[in-house]
Amino acid sequence: MKLSYLGHSCFQIHFGGKILLTDPFISGNGLLKDVNVDDIEADYILLSHAHQDHILDVERIAKRTGATIISCAEIAYHYSNLAYKSHPMNIGGKWKFDFGTVKMVNAVHSSSFPDGKYGGAVGGFVIWDEDYCFYFAGDTALTLDMQIIPMTCPELDFAILPIGDNFTMGVDDAVIASDFIHCDRIIGCHFDTFAYVEIDHAKAIMTFKNENKQLILLEPGKSLELELDEN
Ligand code: NI
Ligand code: MN
């Protein structure tokens, strides 16, 4: 499975024959060099919530690619009212798309558009097909609700968790989250983009290693070919 990190919480993931993009914040990310928003391909754009650092480039990418926006109802309807394709969901619901199944799961955070308009529920997504399953947590605190994921979804191959602290959980809480979701391969997000979320990389990786877990910290703009066992 090919996964590219476009910085902050933005990942481009080739899944089920389609290109999925999460929380595009690209043109505003000073850490991301040599990536042109107008070159990014997407069939689906998954939005965890409406904060600027998660939606900045949605319209620009969706307009050019015709990608379908998957998010909570309030965000999906906001974009469908602007004539973008969208699929509304809400917490606890799942839907079978042409690339696989998406379950929207709880996140503990807040959500409003940059102009203050209500952004609805904040979510994460568990995404699976016959072979693979992963969790994109979005912006969230550590929450006991994460324990529901292994009870209701296939076994996770990897999970993308925020680790930058201040606005979301930090590294120590992410280690506990990895226990809750029964997944020891974690890809970090929501770190280093702003001064509030700068982290010590070596320390973060060691914190996971000490619990026999793997924390992968990708450099913005870098791709990774994930070698995954088929379930
Ligand atoms: Ni946020
Ligand atoms: Mn954020």
Domain spans, the chain: 2-219
Alpha helices in 98-196 (DSSP H): 148-152, 171-180
The pair of three-digit structure tokens given for residue 111, joined into one six-digit string: 């959500």
- Give the closest ligand to the alpha carbon of residue 25: 2
Amino acid at 196: Y
Place of tokens 């996971």: 208
Q: What is the mean pLDDT of residues 59-72?
A: 98
- Give the closest ligand to the alpha carbon of residue 108: 1
* Helix, strand, or coil (residue 149): helix
Residue 149: phi and psi, rounded to 5, are -60, -55
CA of 53 to the centre of ligand 2 (A): 5
CA of 166 to the centre of ligand 2 (A): 10
Instruction: Please report the pLDDT score of residue 109 as a whole number.
Output: 98
The pair of three-digit structure tokens given for residue 100, joined into one six-digit string: 């696989």
Distance of CA 63 to the CA centre of its chain: 21
pLDDT at 172 over 50: yes
- Percentage of the chain exceeding pLDDT 90: 95
The pair of three-digit structure tokens given for residue 25, joined into one six-digit string: 């914040």
Q: Is residue 137 within 8 Å of 183, Cβ to Cβ?
A: no
CA of 123 to the centre of ligand 1 (A): 11
The correct CATH number of 2-219 out of 3.40.630.30, 3.60.15.10, 3.40.190.10, 2.102.10.10 is 3.60.15.10
Element spanning 214, H or E? strand 214-216
Direct distance between the N- and C-terminal alpha carbons of the chain, in angstroms, rounded to an integer: 14
CA of 153 to the centre of ligand 2 (A): 25
pTM over 0.85: yes
Q: Is residue 136 within 8 Å of 97, Cβ to Cβ?
A: no
CA distances from 73 to 81, 88, 114, 153 (A): 12, 4, 17, 22
Instruction: Please report the pLDDT score of residue 141 as a whole number.
Output: 98
CA of 231 to the centre of ligand 1 (A): 32
Tens of pLDDT, residue by residue over 51-65, are 999 999 999 999 999
Q: Is residue 26 within 8 Å of 40, Cβ to Cβ?
A: yes
pLDDT at 231 over 50: no
The 18-22 sheet, strands edge to edge: 86-89, 68-72, 44-46, 18-22, 11-15, 2-5, 223-225
Instruction: Please report the pLDDT score of residue 69 as a whole number.
Output: 98
The pair of three-digit structure tokens given for residue 192, joined into one six-digit string: 């280093």
The half-sphere exposure of 108 on its side-chain side, counting CA atoms within 13 A, is 9
Q: What is the mean pLDDT of residues 172-176?
A: 98
Of all residues in the chain, what percent are helix, strand and coil, respectively (each to 5)?
25, 30, 50
CA of 229 to the centre of ligand 2 (A): 31
Q: What is the mean pLDDT of residues 95-114?
A: 98
Question: Taking all residues of the chain, what is their mean pLDDT, rounded to a whole number?
Answer: 96
pLDDT at 139 over 70: yes
